[in-house]
């Protein structure tokens, strides 16, 4: 069976007949659906759909899909996107000094588990240059003494790399609101806390001082409000009174790697649809 697929994602006001109309359209053109997911958000009455279609079952390429599908989409007021599995997403990774998330992502990329292109890595420190360049990936040092100039340079590098998404793999800088707005839904962050608890700096220290029994990590989209963007994936680990701050940091690194990898995979596979400040994740 062909692994070349189109992924159709749709969000629109909920009403009768949406599923029948979309699946009927695909069937009318001989399309073969290999995976389908649906959800209605009861509060907003918004309907969400994800369909994977065998590319070789349709009589037209992805570039012509809109010509055929647009009349139906307009009739239902759909916001929709078609992704082609033959075109790998281009991820620009941003890091500071800690390398555990970067190391994990690059391992998954080299092994073929993470099917993406990584055109470059950007950092506000030089520490990880050798490690990144060993992987054959360009490394850009962007100092942040002048933050406005630094973030302007990051946007410039992202555009030059034709990036689809930015991944903040423990990048310890707060992005300016204009950058968050410009790339809304395209910047992912791993925060070393089970949000909404312990936002900002040193969350493990905050957790230790509070005496919590669970610590966690959160992969979320970046918004102009610190650590408050739509959450994609989370996980936790139980701790107890005998654990030190250093223990929490050590445990947390493992959770951060796993949560970022899962959240990023959902994003790359177009399994995440944003609903207000929430997400619908079709696993």
What is the pLDDT at residue 196? 83
Is 227 one of the catalytic residues? yes
- Do residues 233 and 216 lie in contact, with contact meaning Cβ atoms separated by under 8 Å? no
Residue-wise pLDDT for 110-152, tens only, equals 999 999 999 999 999 999 999 999 999 999 999 999 999 999 9
Asked if residues 222 and 231 have their Cβ atoms less than 8 Å apart, the reply is: no
**Predicted TM-score (pTM) of this structure:** 0.95
Domains and their CATH numbers in the chain: 5-84 (3.30.70.260), 89-281 (3.40.50.170)
Q: What confidence tens digit (pLDDT) does each residue in 15-56 have?
A: 999 999 999 999 999 999 999 999 999 999 999 999 999 999
226: pLDDT strictly greater than 90: no
CA distance 157 to 7: 28
Query: From CA 242, how far away is CA 260, in angstroms rounded?
Result: 27
- H-helix or E-strand spanning residue 43: none
Set 104, 164, 227, 270: catalytic member = 227
Q: What is the pLDDT of residue 195?
A: 83
């Amino acid at each position: 069976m062909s692994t070349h697929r189109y992924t159709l994602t749709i969000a629109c006001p909920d009403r009768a007949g949406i599923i029948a109309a979309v699946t009927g359209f695909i069937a009318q053109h001989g399309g073969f659906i290999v995976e389908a997911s649906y959800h209605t958000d009861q509060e907003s009455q918004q309907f969400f759909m994800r369909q994977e279609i065998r590319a070789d079952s349709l009589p037209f390429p992805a570039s012509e899909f809109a010509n055929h599908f647009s009349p139906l989409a307009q009739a239902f007021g759909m916001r929709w996107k078609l992704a082609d599995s033959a075109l790998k997403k281009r991820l620009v990774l941003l890091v500071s000094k800690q390398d555990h998330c970067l190391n994990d992502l690059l391992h998954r990329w080299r092994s073929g588990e993470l099917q993406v292109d990584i055109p470059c890595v950007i950092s506000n420190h030089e520490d990880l240059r050798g490690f990144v360049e060993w992987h054959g990936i360009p490394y850009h040092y962007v100092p942040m003494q002048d933050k406005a100039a630094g973030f302007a340079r990051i946007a410039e590098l992202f555009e030059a790399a034709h990036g689809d998404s930015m991944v903040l793999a423990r990048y310890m800088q707060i992005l300016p609101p204009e950058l968050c707005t410009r790339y809304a839904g395209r910047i992912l962050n791993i925060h070393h806390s089970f949000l909404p608890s312990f936002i900002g700096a040193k969350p493990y220290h905050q957790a230790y001082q509070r005496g919590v029994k669970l610590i966690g990590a959160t992969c979320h989209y970046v918004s102009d409000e610190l650590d408050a963007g739509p959450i994609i994936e989370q996980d936790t680990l139980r701790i107890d009174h005998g654990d030190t701050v250093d223990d929490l940091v050590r445990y947390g690194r493992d959770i951060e790697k796993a949560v970022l990898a899962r959240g990023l995979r959902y994003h790359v596979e177009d399994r995440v649809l944003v609903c207000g400040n929430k997400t619908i994740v079709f696993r």
